[in-house]
Amino acid sequence: MDKGLMFLAVALSIGIAALGTGIGQGNAVAKAMEAIGRNPEAQGKVQSTLILGLAFIESLCIYALVISFILSGRIPA
């Protein structure tokens, strides 16, 4: 079959996911920084909630990573 297209699929699946996840995590971190700047005492609370949120956002990218690993394993040598 067309090996080139499979390579493209591997790269695109993780690339597009990383794009979206990057934008999402950037937004989340920016807002959290703003919140800490406004109210430094809330740092601990903001931090743990932020990490929890980032974990959820990041899992989307991880799904794409798993897909791209599965795809790259299927490329015939």
Partner 1 sequence: MEHGAVEGIQQIAIMGHLVDVNVPVVISAITVSILLVIVAVLLGKTNVIPTGLQSLLEHVYAWLEGLAISLMGPIGKRYVPLCASIFLYVLFSNWIGLIPNFFEWIPGAQRFAPLLEPPTVSANVTLAMALVSFASFMGLGFARRIETSMQPAHGHGHAHGEDAHEEHGEHAGPVGGGPFVGAVRWILHYIEPVPSLGKSMEGLMKFVMVPLLLILFIFLNIVEELARILSLTFRLFGNIFGEHQVKLQLLTLAGTYAVQSATSAMAGAIGGAVGMGVMTIIMWGSLLFVLCLGTLAGFIQAFVFALLTMSYIAHAVADHH
Q: Which residues contact partner 1 (rule: CB under 8 A)?
A: 44-45, 48, 51-52, 55-56, 58-59, 62-63, 65-66, 69
Closest separation between CB of residue 58 and partner 1, Å? Answer: 7
What residue type is assigned to position 65 of the chain?
Answer: L
CB of 22 to partner 1, least distance (A): 15
Is residue 53 within 8 Å of 16, Cβ to Cβ? no
Smallest gap from residue 70 Cβ to partner 1 (A):
11
Which token pair is 2? 């067309």
27 vs 48 by CB, closer to partner 1? 48
What are the angstrom distances between the C-alpha of 62 and each of 1, 3, 37, 68, 69? 27, 24, 30, 10, 10
Closer to partner 1 at the Cβ: 2 or 41?
A: 41
